[in-house]
Structure 1
Amino acid sequence: MTQLARLPTELFHELFQYLWANEILHSFSNLSDQMNSILESYSSYRINFQSTRYSIFQRICEQIQPEQVISLILSDKNDTPHLTKIFLSYFHIQQFTNLRLLSLIQVEHDSLCKILPELSKLKRLHSLSFDNSSGKGKFVDFTDTNTKIYSLLPKSSSETILQLKYLCTTYSDALTSMNFPNLLQLRLNCHSLHPLNAILQQAPQLKSLTLFLDVFRDLYAFQPCYSLRKLILIVKHAHMSIDLIGQFLEKFSNVTHFELKNIFGFAHRSLIDGFQWERIAQSFSIFNFKFHMKDTLTERNLDSFRTRFWIEEKHWFVVCQHNYLFTVSLSDFGLPYIGLTCMKSLYSTIPNNAILYHPKYLIFHRRPSNTQFCFTTIQNLQPIWLGSVQLLSSIIDLNQIQYLTIIPPVFSLFKNISSHMPKLHTLRFEGNQVDIDVPEQSSLSGLQLKQIHTLQFHIAKDSKKSIYDLQMISYSFPLVEHISTWPVKSRSDIIYIIGLFKQLSSISFVIHQSIDKIKRYSEFDSQLILNDIEKYLHCSAMCRIDFISENDRTPDLLHFWLCERVR
């Protein structure tokens, strides 16, 4: 500490720009009075409360003053239920007078209603992101729109909108009556194109637009937008022809960066015609796409993408595999995964195959007949068949694996995790054969993998027995902080499982399908469960119950965020 004390305060403040608030406080708090003074004088803290431990959340709320914060991320996702509600018991959002960026991730309805009316008091805010409270993914159910949130937006946020440079939201209809004189980037989740026209006319400086669309329609009477340079279009149901896309792009004549991707269903056949795209994409400097086709593609489908325009002039390369067609320049814009046994059907326009598409997710089915490919960017691996770790290493750079999906036949892989997968932190257990196949779990016996922080279980809600020995798992993964989703039949199951994992921060349960509706109401009362947790485990917790549906308020899923246990 003597050497650190000689460094100027400005140098520490420069270093802090690269760290989150929790990292700064953990590393530098209480080293000396001088260091504490440096922390107190720092005025650019960035707080990220996603997947945070309750003790870290509490420490930040108690040590940092709101005027010291320039960036704030609040999340009420399953691993931090009710976080925003507790945060608002410490602070009022208007106290964050120097806040530049605010991101609200699946924040619960009541908390949103407290935050939104106060946004106009944040005079320095220039980046705002908030989605719907249901949190069902990128695409929302637009038939279940919360009208109260819609009514709050125009009244509370119009002043804030005027100063924003970045906006990300699902509430597109509420924005049609607002002005965006300074907006440069917009990420919008829309049912259709209908509200977009009005929004764009009020955003004269908009440079970048990312659209998550349910359906591609309502193109009529669409006005041009000349300021836009970057357009990303991600469509849930891509029932659109290339002619329709061309008409749409005519409204954005100055766009030089265009990306197009369909999520569900099958893309229109005309979208895999490179000659037609050549006519549309003349002015693009960056062009990426991913299409899911109904029919299996062959190498002949790439012929229209082998022209001088694609290969020599633009240097855009295209790959087809099975029924996917995609560009290779973006590693996360191509296939959601790649199956290793499909390598024979992978074709590309890359000369001499000098470059290979770099996926992030690979499914390893069985020993491949063609191993000339080597994947160096795989982060998510699902080995369904396993020969030897040496064979895996010859095809995949295992050092990059962060997420591993494991099934009983490949449990032997556990013994190689520490030596071959140093970055691995999340394990997903697939239990599709839970009732018919009880595996040998000796691979875990006596083994401890302290690098694993997250366990995910995919077990049928109606399974009659578990193939997994939870006591063995709790021993083998002693530092696990997050678990989802384990089936339970009673409150005592919940207490027992939480008690096994001493470092647990969050856990989600699914109520077993055999439990009838009456027992679900009586047995899985949130307050009764919280009382049991405090009584038997000596810690408090937050609990959120998800119901079967909006119309059926029967408990189905239970999410817990745990405080530190009293030892």
Structure 2
Amino acid sequence: MNTMELFLWKLPRLRHFVFSGKVHIDIANGRRWEILAIDLVTFHFNFQLGVGRLNNILETFRTPFWLERKRWFVAYKNHHLFSVPYFADTIASFPFYPPVHSTAPDDRFFFQHIKHLQLPEVATIDLHYFTHIETLELRCTIPLTTLHTMIDLSRVRHLILNWLINLSNLPILPNIMPNLYKLSLNDQCRNILRSVREIQPIEQIRSLQLEDLREITRVSDITQFCRIFPCVEHLHVNLHVSIWIGEQYNEAEEHM
């Protein structure tokens, strides 16, 4: 800690400081940092350390300087003592559990910082609400009514659909997710083609990611797929069988 004190005292004009790394236990002392950080406008840190007396350390970050004057909050999780929300998780899998040890006044600091939410199973109604989800990853079929109770869907910009999910709600995406522009379909191509007669064009999608096109075996399939997503500007395709391109090229030549 003495080295860090000397380093910062040599920078009297310093106003913004981000500090991250594996540190000695004496670095995790809120009262000593009060002296060093008194003139800082922003101070974010992520200390990797082993903590024996965690409660004693957190108490040094619960003084009026931290909680009232600066409103700088910290949390401890997986051997990391970090600033909240700067170094808090941005990706979470439901159910999401915020850090148990924290000086933040409530759990909203953690839920509001999540930008990417994964739903691997049917979610139960939770008391917490995700207000800043930009990427939503669904690995199960879940009712829209349930999603509305959990997430502000108007902020979702990227929707990821995994496995065999019911696509009956696909045509109404523009209504429930007005800012959605990217759609990722993992193992969904055949599922979409089965429902193609019922799906109207979705012009809102500008970026489309397809995990595997092996199930699209005919030129007519490609035509139908392009009809569903007519306004795509960015296309990302992962092919797992190299021969697929040659097969489709040969078939396309036969139709010319």
TM-score (norm. length: structure 2)? 0.72
What CA distance in whole angstroms lies between the structure 2 residues aligned with 1:287 and 1:340? 30
Could you tell me how far apart the structure 1 residues matched to 2:133 and 2:32 are? 33
Match of 2:42 in 1: 286
Cα distance, 1:446 vs structure 2: 3.2
Deviations 1:376-433 (A, max 9, x none): 11111222334211111111100011112221233535244222111111122345xx
Question: Residue 489 of structure 1 aligns with which residue?
Answer: 243
Pick one of 89, 94, 97 that aligns with 1:335: 89
Which of 107, 115, 132 is matched with 1:377 structurally? 132
- Residues 441-463 of structure 1 show CA distances to partners (whole Å, capped at 9, x for unaligned) of 4455532211111112345xxxx
The verdict on how the C-alpha distance between 1:491 and 1:387 changes in structure 2, with shifts beyond 3 A counting, is: closer
Shift of the 368–408 alpha-carbon distance from structure 1 to 2, 3 Å rule, reads closer
For residue 369 of structure 1, report the CA deviation from its aligned partner: 5.9
Among 438, 443, 452, the residue aligned to 2:205: 452
Larger CA Rg, structure 1 vs 2: 1
Structure 1 residues 344 and 337, CA gap change in structure 2 (3 angstroms): closer
- Asked if 1:477 is matched to 2:226, the reply is no
Deviations 1:531-559 (A, max 9, x none): x9xxx99xxxxxxxxxxxxxxxxxxxxxx
Partner of 1:466: 214
Q: 1:430 to 1:315 in 2, by over 3 A?
A: same
Q: Do the aligned residues in 2 keep the contact of 1:425 with 1:454 (CA within 8 Å)?
A: yes
Report how far residue 484 of structure 1 moved: 1.6
Contact 2:98–2:107 at 8 Å: present in 1 too?
A: no
- How has the CA–CA distance of structure 1 residues 493 and 261 changed in structure 2, closer, same or farther, with 3 Å as cutoff? farther
Moved more, 318-327 or 336-345: 318-327
Q: 1:400 is matched with which residue? A: 155
1:259 aligns with 2:18: yes
1:108-127 matched pairs, under 5 angstroms: none
Conserved 8 A contact 1:414-1:444: no
**CA distance 1:410–1:310, shift in 2 (3 Å):** farther
Instruction: Return 5+ residue gaps in structure 1 as ranges.
Output: 1-241, 460-464, 500-531, 538-567
| Greater relative contact order (Cα < 8 A, sep 6+) | 2
Question: In 2 relative to 1, CA 294–380 (structure 1 residues): closer, same or farther, beyond 3 Å?
Answer: farther
| Residue type of the alignment partner of 2:202 | L
Aligned residue number for residue 313 of structure 1: 69
Which 5+ residue runs of structure 2 have no aligned equivalent? Answer: none
- Paired amino acid for 2:204: Q
The two structures, once aligned, show a CA RMSD in angstroms of 4.1
Change (3 A) 1:249 1:403: farther
SS at match of 1:309: helix
Q: Percent identical across equivalent pairs?
A: 23
Contact 2:125 2:150 in 1 (8 A): no
Matched ranges for 1:20-419 at <5 A: 246=5, 248-261=7-20, 267-268=22-23, 270=25, 273-290=29-46, 293=48, 300=55, 302-320=58-76, 325-328=81-84, 330=86, 334-343=88-97, 345=99, 348-353=102-107, 355-356=109-110, 357-367=112-122, 371-412=126-167, 414-419=170-175
Conservation of the 8 A alpha-carbon contact between 1:288 and 1:329: no
State the number of aligned residues: 243
Residue type of the alignment partner of 1:397: D
TM-score if structure 1 supplies the norm length?
A: 0.36
Contact 2:140 2:162 in 1 (8 A): no
Q: Does the C-alpha gap of structure 1 residues 454 and 318 become closer, same or farther in structure 2, counting only changes over 3 Å?
A: same
| 3-state secondary structure, aligned to 1:473 | helix
Q: Is the 8 A contact 2:91 2:116 kept in 1?
A: yes
